[in-house]
Each structure stands twice: as C-alpha cells, then as structure tokens.
Amino acid sequence: MEAFPSSDSPVSQGRLCVKGWNCYEYVRSPLRLVRPLMREKSRGYRERADSLDDFREVSWRKALKFIASKFKDIREKEGSIALGLLSSAKCTNEENYLMMKLARAVLQTNNIDHCARLCHSSTVVGLARAFGSGAMTNSIEEIEKAEVILVTGSNTTEQHPEIGGRIIRRVLQGAKLILVDPRRIHLAKFATLHLQAQPGTDVAWINGLIHVILKEGLADSDFIDKHTENFSSMRKIVKKYTPQFVEEITGIPAKKLIEAARIYGSARQAMIFYAMGVTQHVTGTDNVLSLANLSMVTGHVGRPSTGVNPLRGQNNVQGACDMGALPDSLTGYQKIEDGDSRKKFEQCWDVKLPTVAGLTETEMFVAGNPIQALYIMGENPLLSEPNIGRVEKFMESLEFLVVQDIFFTETARWADVILPGSSFAEKDGTFTSTERRVQRVRKVVEPVGESQADWKIICQLAKELGYPMEYSHPAQIMEEISSLTPIYGGVSYPRLDKIEGLQWPCPEDSHPGTPYLHKGGFKRGKGLFTPVEYKPPQEITDEEYPFLLTTGRIYQHWHTGTMSRLTFTLQREVPQAFVEMNPRDGLFLGVRNKQLVKVISRRGEIIAKAFLTEKVKEKTIFIPFHFSEAAANRLTLDSLDPEAKIPEYKVCAVKIELWGENN
Amino acid sequence: MIILTIERENLLKFLDELKREAEIVAPVQRLGGATFAEIKDISEVNFLEGNPLSSAKQFFFPQTDELFQFRKGVFSFKVEAKRKRRILFGIRPCDLAALEFSDRFFSREHGGYEDIYYWFRRRNTILIGINCLRPEESCFCFLCGSGPFARRGYDLQLTPLENSYLVEVASSQGEKLVSTYSDFFSPASPGDKREKEILEEKLEGKFSHKRVELKKVTSRLLEDGFSGAVIENEFWEEIGNRCLDCGGCNYICPTCTCFSILDKADRNIEVGERMRIWDSCNFSGFTRMASGANPGANKRDRIKRRFFCKLLYSQENQSLLGCVGCGRCWKVCYTDIDISKVASEIQQK
C-alpha cells in the first residue's frame, strides 16, 4: 500500500502533508481491531481495562444482539433520553447520516453529537446567526487573489498545511499577512504584523480593529446600508475599545492595532482565517460574531477572496455537521424543532421523531445527566474532552458503553462492547472538506480481519433493533441524503466522479456548486451585527496558579494520536508530550530545557518535558493534547460557552513544579 | 547500435504481444492524475501527457517494502523468485538517469552495498524509454545532462517522429526483443535519424528555466564546504523558513534513496513483519541520536544538507549529479522551493 498526492486535484494540486504521505502505515497496522470484543464479566462496577486481555472475542451476531438488547432494556426502563450517540468526524457523510438516523428514527433520541462540539460549534452558531450559514464563506483557491490575509487562532502551516502553504505563497507574491496569535508560530516569520494577544482576549482586539476602522473612515457604509442590520448598536459598543483600552486588555501595542486596522480596512479583498484559538473559549460564539462584525464593517464578505473562513480540522467534520450529527439539527442544518423539517424526515423514514433537541457531547459526560448508555463511533473523548478526570467519573457511573473504532483507544478501554470499524481506505463514501467540498473516497483495500465498513455495522445494528436499513452501496444512502437535504440536493455519485467534487450549496442536478457564499446578499437576508462586550476568560491566573495554559495541536500528530502515534515517522519526529515555556520563566523557576516538570491545575496534573522557547510569552505555557500519558486535558477547564457548549480549552490557570529526584 | 522505426499501430501491437510474457507498467491517466501503473489493456497507455508525478522509483524501491514476515518464531522472506518479468514502458530520460543513480547507490561497485530487494526487481525489468518532446514548466533536465533525450540507461528508447517512432536498441535484452518481434520493426533511414536530431535541437528553446552552470554550482559548494564561507546562513535560513516539513521533496525524488527500517508486530509480538519505508532528511528525527544530539536539529541545516547532497555529495559518492531535473520536488512543495532556482542563486554567490 502506498500514499501519493493527486496531481489533478484542484485542492491539493499534487501536495501532501507529512501525515498524508505516511497514512499508509496505520491502515495496515497489526494493532488494528479485527474482531468484535466484549468485556469479560466485570467486577460489579465499571473500570478502565488494563489491556485487551480484559476482553474476549465474540461473533458479530452475538455482539450486535447483545448491544440491541441492552439498548432496548435501558430504553424501556429509563426512556430514550437515557441513550446517547457520538458520531464521527472521521467517518463518511453516509455513515454520519445513518448514525443520525439510528439515533432519531430507531432509538428515538436526539442525543446525538460529535466532536465538532469541541472544535467549531461556536462557528456553527455564530456564523449561522450573523450570516445565515455556519461554514467557510469562501474557497481555498481564492487565497491566490487575496490582498490581505488575517489569520487568528490558527497555526495554519501546522494544522492546515495546504492552506498555510498557499498563504505563504501568496505572501511571497506580495500580499500582506496580519497574524493575531499568542504564540510566535511559523507563520509569524511571514507576517507583516504579528499581534501577540493575550489568550482569551479576542473580542477586545476585534472590537478595537472595528473602532479604528470606523474612526478612520475605512468602513464600507454602502455595504453596511444595503446588506446589514443592527449596525448602530454594534457601533455603540465598540466606541470604548480605543487602541489604548485594547492594549491594556490584550497586550497588543496600540500602534500595531491601528496599523492592522488600516491594512485590513483599506484592502479591497481581505480574507479572515481562524480556527480553535477563536472558537474554544467560553466566549467562542462571541469571538465568531465579532469576526463577522469585522468583515461586514469593511464589506469583506460575499465576494471572491474575502470572507470569514473557519478552518475545519478533521477530514469530515464539516460533513458530520452537514449530516445532522448534532442534537438540534437534521441534515443541512434543518432544525429538529421545526415541524415542517421533521415531517419531511418522518415521511421518508416512516416513523415519528422525537421533537426536542437533545444533549450536546459536552453535556453527555456530566454526572447526574440522564445518559445510561453511550454508543461512540470513531471518537476518543477520554483524551479529547476537557477535564478528563470528570469524564472518568462519569464513565464509572455509566451503565453501558459501546465503542466502534479501528484501534484500542483510551475510550475503548471503558467499553462493554468494542466493534471493529474500518479506515478511510477500506470503504466507499464521501467526505466534505472545510471549503464545503463534497468529495468521494474509494475503497482500495478490504477491511482487515472481520472488521467492517462503519455504515454496514450501523445497518446491522438497526436491523437488530427492529428497523431495517437496507442499502447495497453508499451511493444509495447519498440518494436519500440529497432527497432530504436542500444544500445537497444536486449531489450524487455520478456527479462526484469528477476529481473536483461539488461545493455545497448545490441544490439541484444542474447546479455547479458554490465556491463562495452570500453573493449579492446574505443567506439570512441581511447580515446581522451583534454588539459584543469583552468578557475575561473563566479561570484567570492568580498567586497560586500563576501560569496561563493554552492547549493545541502539533503538525505531526492528529487529535488523540490513535493513528499518528502508531506511525513511525510521525512518532519519531515528536515522540512525547512537552510544555512550551518562555526561557525567562524557566530561569525564574529553575527549569532547564528538556527537564521534566509537573504541571498542576485545579483539576489534575501531568508530567512532561519543558521546552524553553521564545514561541510563548512569559507566564503563558502551551501543551499539545495528543499524548495520553501526559494528557493536557487532565488540566483543562470544562466550562462551556453558554450557547455553543464548546469548552474553554485555550485558557486555564496552572502552576509548575520541578519533577524527579535530580531536581 | 541498432536503430529501427516502428509505426504507432505496430507499437501498440508490440506492447500487446509483450503483455503475454511480462507485466507492463506504463504511464496511465487515473482519476487523480497521471501515474505509472500496471496496465490491463494497451489502450490505457498514456502517450501524450507529461511525466507522472510519481517516478519509476516505486517499482524498484517502493514506499513500503516488506522485507520478511515472522509468525511465532518462523521467518519467511518475501523476495519472490517466481515473479513475472516486468517491462517499464514510457519512462522519461530524467527517470532513466535517476535509475542509473540508484543502481550505483544500491550496488557494491560504487562503495555502497548490494541491496537484494532493489536488484531483484531491477534485474527483472526491461526499460523501454521515451524521449521527451514536451518539457513542462517545472522541467530542467537539460541543465542536469539527463534529458530531454536519453543517451543511455535504456533497453529500447523511442523518439516520437512525424509518422512513426525511432527505436534505439542499447542492450542485449533490447536486441532480443526487437528480433523476437522483428515483424513490427523496420530499419531506420538516415532521414529518420536526422528527424530526431532536428527535434532535439528545437527543444533547446522550449525550456523556460534560467541557465545554470552546474559545474560552477558544484565549485561554489566545494569552496563553501558546508562552512558558510561562501553561502551565508541567511540564504539557507530563508529557504528553511519556507519548508513546511512534509518530506514530499524526498519522497517524490527519483534519486532519494534513504529509508528507515521498522518492525510491525501484533500486541503479543507473535505475528509481524519487518519493513522499510521511505525516509526524509528534512525531518529532525532523521539524524537525531539517542543522546538527543542532532546535526540536523534546525531546519536551516537540514535544508542545506539536502541541497549539498543533491548538488555535491552525490557527485562525490556516486560520481553522478543527484538531481535529474525532473522538477517533481518543486511541484510537491507547499511553498514552491525550486532546486533549479536555488542552484542558480548559489552560482551567483
């Protein structure tokens, strides 16, 4: 098996990142799960399994029958509200659709969600409110014509190298790059301006930019008049965000903020790119709304090479959202609480649907909630949820857990039944990329051992539960999806046979797809300005916990590392967790480079190597969350954005101690 | 040298005949792009498109190569003796030159070691090359002396003429092929040979690349001796800053031969395999020692090492330039790092 880039793809154009080049390795790893497994009779209470020895192999028939009977029992005793499902941003659109259908039509619960809750739920809420659509407004290739690029809260070269590379190519041609990021990331080397904002102060500097833009007459008043509403109340709020006031909150020098406002405000075509640094805050939705305000004030939206562009992380996190693996939405963001939408699905599925929005992922892991049984497909919350100690406590109290995955993950260790799913190379389907591009994935090898394509597993389980789902190929599932989903209305397998795929909205067969949104007017009618006040992060540093911890990802590893950490080349590059710390803090604490330190928060502690680097400012540390043996999420805070329910991964308070005998 | 011609129609018939006795690998257009692949039907062969992004390297030194398997203490080696002969059809002069390079790298005669896995495949393969009439924007083989027309390294070499293909025969294997299927071939006339010469002369102007004198580049690098005396650190720093660590330039390069060895076993270490995979000198882990000491700890030095390897060390070790001018590294690079441009800048130092 080999991995090569596609030279004809308009997106990759023959390029791949290091993870792409090396993706063959995990697919054929001998550590893949190859047979259904059941936990040996437990000791009366749930606990984490030490190894696979705590499980025994069973037949598919037995595993599925057992799961179906447990789900039925729990539903009878506690009601459908006691069941929860997590779908997967790594699985195909078709699989996410079926998981959603299994939840709603078969198990009669809206408790379905997936990891988008943890990464871009605030985008979906914020951009949908401001513009009417919660996805990347523009397309990747439009970077080629951008005059100004504003990147914030995105380590683009490491997390979206395809886009990061394009940004660098464009900057080398003369475009201006404004980077707003607390860390001196790789892109800083190419930035016209790097504003090193204090983590958690996004609303303040964005309001500051708008303040300067308005003051200096750089606003696009035509655009504001014609295409937006509620401008004046937003204007009132930003009045007090003078550059000096913003400097006090964010640490961005007033002069630099003014310069950034002038560059962004006077460009004809400016694109905003952002990711988790914006979304993963208790003010995540506010942050997104503020970026929407900024783009509307200058009219940088609704045209090519402009827009507000959230960079989605996983291969199909956009698609998993599109497919309605969300507690409040059916496919294509049709609301479950909207009677007409529900009726359409009820007719197609021939079943009544539960009417009230379900629990979000972050609410599912809270002790005392009604969840008794969880079915988790291709997700690893025991490493990705904030405050893991809390999730472990919840697991101890859970009655029944099914995990469907390709490896024995941290989460699978808690399972009663483990079902072996399949990797991207072993099945047909579609993925929807960050730029709303629906693309085919094709089976190149058979699933290993007795493992099966995830869509087939869901179909069999549905049948065991008394609701036949019969599809001979994912193409059939897509036919059903497009018949129910206006934005996917023209998406079909024959059309997807072209390498470039189709960008939604694509409402009908003759529609060519949509490279950029809100052309000539917003999806919701008028763009909505929202006045947003700066609110400080939930947990600020104090004498006892004097360091601000911000978490994130690194280039060589992927999320909870279940695949990348089994990949030789990636693991060799970055074998273990680390703590980025400013050298002056190192000096103050007496920490040498590469010395082990203990990082302690109010919720937990981990031990990892200190990397002394100017990448981070004093009193701020950075830890990547990929490493189970030193899980950054033991430290993080489980406070949520009130609307999007996204956790504040990016800011919490910690203290640091030396660790080991030789200290 | 035997020089013949073959008409297009007969070339297809010839390949069809060969398909009975050998596996034929040729450039084909697949969804996703042109690539080299085993063909099932002659109609799949793609004569017109440019060079596929993947080179011939993967057929001798694949991205992942299983060296042996073990099962509860019993080892089995994978070198299959009964393998069907392979004919690699339609490879370009740059890739032929790259094969000459890797032949030397993987053989004892040039100070290396005899790599059985490489040579098993290599000896079992007949090379039918094709001269290039349509250089791409990224091509600069003419600077490296590897193309657009091949001088050596092939069994049969084709040149597309107006009405037929000129066929040059350079090996006993090639001779055997043309004599076995002599019906398809006719002797080449002086006019045919002249037509080839004219084609080659005309190609000179078609390369858009800057003129670089690689001899001068080599001497600049020799003078510098990796010390920074001639080529200042900032030069490498600037290129290093652009590099996004994907490893693509190494993976895609037809002359990059570095690999890693790893064992993949199940959790009880009862069943597994030893494999080798392509490696990249752009990675920090490539030269990191157990102590943590690392001559390639920073990107600037790694990038510098790569260009020294391609443009100087290769000549010291294999007596051949390590770059064949195929331009693939430039195509896969996220930030357009172009080795011909780097070389021309070194020349100016």
Nearest to A586 by CA among A573, A571, A596: A596
Structural domain containing residue B343: 214-259+279-347
Percent of chain A at pLDDT above 70?
99
| Pick from B33, B266, B277: CB nearest A6 | B33
DSSP string covering A480-538? HHHHH-GGGTT--HHHHTSTT-EESP--STT----SSS-TTSBTTBSEEP--------S
Establish if A9 touches chain B: CB-CB under 8 angstroms.
Answer: yes
Mean pLDDT of chain A: 96
- Which of B36, B234, B261, B332 would you mutate first to test chain A, the one with the most A CBs within 10 A? B332
Find chain A residues with C-beta within 8 A of B279's C-beta. 569
Interchain pair A21, B271: CB under 8 A = no
Nearest CA to CA, how far is B41 from chain A (Å)?
20
Q: Which two tokens stand for residue B284?
A: 């920090």
Q: Is residue B266 part of a domain?
A: no
Would residue B348 be called left, alpha or beta, if left means φ above 0 and alpha means ψ between -120 and 50 degrees?
alpha
Per-residue confidence (pLDDT) for residue B240, from 0 to 100: 97
Q: In the predicted model, is pLDDT for residue B79 greater than 70?
A: no
Residue whose pair of structure tokens reads 């179909």 in the numeric block: A459
pLDDT, one tens digit per residue, over A172-195 is 999 999 999 999 999 999 999 999
pLDDT, one tens digit per residue, over B175-226 is 999 999 999 999 999 999 999 999 999 987 777 766 788 899 999 999 999 9
Q: What is the mean pLDDT of residues A311-332?
A: 96
Alpha-carbon span A350 to A279, nearest angstrom: 38
Report ipTM for this prediction: 0.95
Domain boundary among B186, B207, B228: B207
Q: Is residue B294 part of a domain?
A: yes
Torsions phi, psi for B180 (to 5 deg): -65, -40
Residue B236 sits in the same domain as residue B327: yes
| Pick from A1, A7, A8: CB nearest B64 | A1
Nearest CA to CA, how far is A591 from chain B (Å)?
18
| Pick from B32, B62, B277: CB nearest A9 | B32
Find chain B residues with C-beta within 8 A of A188's C-beta. none
Residue B102 sits in the same domain as residue B249: no
Q: Which two tokens stand for residue A312?
A: 């989605």
Residue B225 sits in the same domain as residue B191: no
Q: In the predicted model, is pLDDT for residue A54 greater than 60?
A: yes
Q: Which two tokens stand for residue B275?
A: 């494999």
Alpha-carbon span A631 to A564, nearest angstrom: 16
The confidence band for A663, taking pLDDT boundaries of 50, 70 and 90, is: low
Interchain pair A189, B271: CB under 8 A = no
pLDDT, one tens digit per residue, over A599-654 is 999 999 999 999 999 999 999 999 999 999 999 999 999 999 999 999 999 999 99
Percent of chain B at pLDDT above 90?
83
Mean pLDDT of chain B: 93
Interchain pair B54, A4: CB under 8 A = yes
Interchain pair A7, B33: CB under 8 A = yes
Interchain pair B33, A8: CB under 8 A = yes
Domain boundary among B147, B180, B207: B207
Per-residue confidence (pLDDT) for residue A43, from 0 to 100: 56
Residue B165 sits in the same domain as residue B236: no
The confidence band for B102, taking pLDDT boundaries of 50, 70 and 90, is: very high
The number of distinct structural domains making up chain B is 2
Q: Which residue of A has its CA nearest to B332?
A: A15
pTM: 0.96
DSSP string covering A41-109? --SSS----SSGGGEEE--HHHHHHHHHHHHHHHHHHH-GGGEEEE--TTS-HHHHHHHHHIIIIIS--
Residue B171 sits in the same domain as residue B199: yes
Alpha-carbon span A61 to A450, nearest angstrom: 12
Interchain pair B335, A569: CB under 8 A = no
Residue B219 sits in the same domain as residue B199: no
Nearest CA to CA, how far is B34 from chain A (Å)?
8
| Pick from B53, B58, B262: CB nearest A14 | B53
The SS3 of residue A459 is helix
* Residues belonging to chain B with any Cβ–Cβ distance to chain A shorter than 8 Å: 31-35, 52-54, 58, 62-64, 241-242, 244-248, 251, 260, 262, 264-267, 271-272, 277, 279-280, 283-285, 288, 292, 331-336
pLDDT, one tens digit per residue, over B240-284 is 999 999 999 999 999 999 999 999 999 988 999 999 999 999 999
Q: Which residue of B has its CA nearest to A14?
A: B332
Q: What is the mean pLDDT of residues A558-580?
A: 96
Q: In the predicted model, is pLDDT for residue A117 greater than 90?
A: yes
- Which of B28, B58, B237, B245 would you mutate first to test chain A, the one with the most A CBs within 10 A? B245
Q: Is residue B312 part of a domain?
A: yes
Find chain A residues with C-beta within 8 A of B336's C-beta. 169, 172
A142 Cβ contact list (under 8 Å, min separation 6):
A271, A304, A305, A307, A515, A516
Establish if A162 touches chain B: CB-CB under 8 angstroms.
Answer: yes
Alpha-carbon distances, residue B175 vs A129, B88, B120, B192 (angstroms): 74, 16, 22, 19
Interchain pair B31, A157: CB under 8 A = no
Would residue A489 be called left, alpha or beta, if left means φ above 0 and alpha means ψ between -120 and 50 degrees?
alpha
Torsions phi, psi for A509 (to 5 deg): -55, -35
Nearest CA to CA, how far is A168 from chain B (Å)?
6
Q: Is residue B271 part of a domain?
A: no
Domain boundary among B191, B207, B223: B207
Q: Dihedral (C-alpha) B283, B284, B285, B291: value to the nearest 10 degrees? A: 170
**Residue type, position A412, single letter:** A
Percent of chain B at pLDDT above 70?
97
Residue B169 sits in the same domain as residue B238: no
| Pick from A14, A169, A568: CB nearest B335 | A169
Residue B49 sits in the same domain as residue B165: yes
Per-residue confidence (pLDDT) for residue B50, from 0 to 100: 74
Residue whose pair of structure tokens reads 């005998």 in the numeric block: A661
Residue B248 sits in the same domain as residue B122: no
Q: In the predicted model, is pLDDT for residue B82 greater than 80?
A: no
Per-residue confidence (pLDDT) for residue A44, from 0 to 100: 60
> What's the N-to-C CA distance of chain B in angstroms?
43
- Which of A1, A9, A15, A168 would you mutate first to test chain B, the one with the most B CBs within 10 A? A15
Establish if A343 touches chain B: CB-CB under 8 angstroms.
Answer: no
Nearest to B91 by CA among B55, B137, B48: B55
Angle, helices A454-464/A93-101, rounded to nearest 10 degrees: 20
Q: Which residue of A has its CA nearest to B292?
A: A594
Residue B189 sits in the same domain as residue B337: no
Q: What is the mean pLDDT of residues A470-483?
A: 98
Find chain B residues with C-beta within 8 A of A161's C-beta. 244, 246, 334
Cis peptide before A36 (omega within 30 of 0): no
Per-residue confidence (pLDDT) for residue B276, from 0 to 100: 95
Establish if A589 touches chain B: CB-CB under 8 angstroms.
Answer: no
Lowest mean pLDDT among A286-295, B131-140, B146-155: B131-140
Would residue A466 be called left, alpha or beta, if left means φ above 0 and alpha means ψ between -120 and 50 degrees?
left
Q: Tell me which DSSP letter residue A590 carries.
A: T
Q: Is residue B181 part of a domain?
A: yes
Q: Is residue B153 part of a domain?
A: yes
Q: What is the mean pLDDT of residues A402-430?
A: 97
pLDDT, one tens digit per residue, over B50-64 is 789 999 999 999 999
Residue B183 sits in the same domain as residue B222: no
Q: Which two tokens stand for residue A453?
A: 């394509």
A417 Cβ contact list (under 8 Å, min separation 6):
A36, A37, A38, A39, A63, A66, A67, A401, A402, A403
Q: What is the mean pLDDT of residues A494-523?
A: 95
Nearest CA to CA, how far is A30 from chain B (Å)?
5
Residue B9 sits in the same domain as residue B82: yes
Q: Is residue B110 part of a domain?
A: yes
Nearest CA to CA, how far is B261 from chain A (Å)?
10
Establish if A168 touches chain B: CB-CB under 8 angstroms.
Answer: yes
Q: What is the mean pLDDT of residues A77-85?
A: 97
- Tell whether the torsion through CA atoms of A643, A649, A650 and A655 is positive or negative: positive
The SS3 of residue B310 is helix
Q: In the predicted model, is pLDDT for residue A562 greater than 80?
A: yes
Residue whose pair of structure tokens reads 């003369």 in the numeric block: A174
Q: Tell me which DSSP letter residue A143 carries.
A: G
Torsions phi, psi for B125 (to 5 deg): -120, 135
Alpha-carbon distances, residue A422 vs A26, A90, A115, B234, B269 (angstroms): 11, 10, 19, 47, 23
Q: Which string of b and e fits A101-131 if b means at least 16 CB within 10 Å?
A: bbbbbbbbbbbbbbbbbbbbbbbbbbbbbbb
Q: Is residue B240 part of a domain?
A: yes
Find chain A residues with C-beta within 8 A of B245's C-beta. 18, 555, 573
The confidence band for B80, taking pLDDT boundaries of 50, 70 and 90, is: low
Interchain pair B248, A21: CB under 8 A = yes
Q: What is the mean pLDDT of residues A414-442?
A: 97
Find chain B residues with C-beta within 8 A of A14's C-beta. 33, 53, 331-332
Alpha-carbon span A212 to A214, nearest angstrom: 5
Nearest to B130 by CA among B150, B146, B109, B103: B150
Residue whose pair of structure tokens reads 């046979």 in the numeric block: A497
Task: Go through chain B and tell me how many residues it has.
Answer: 349
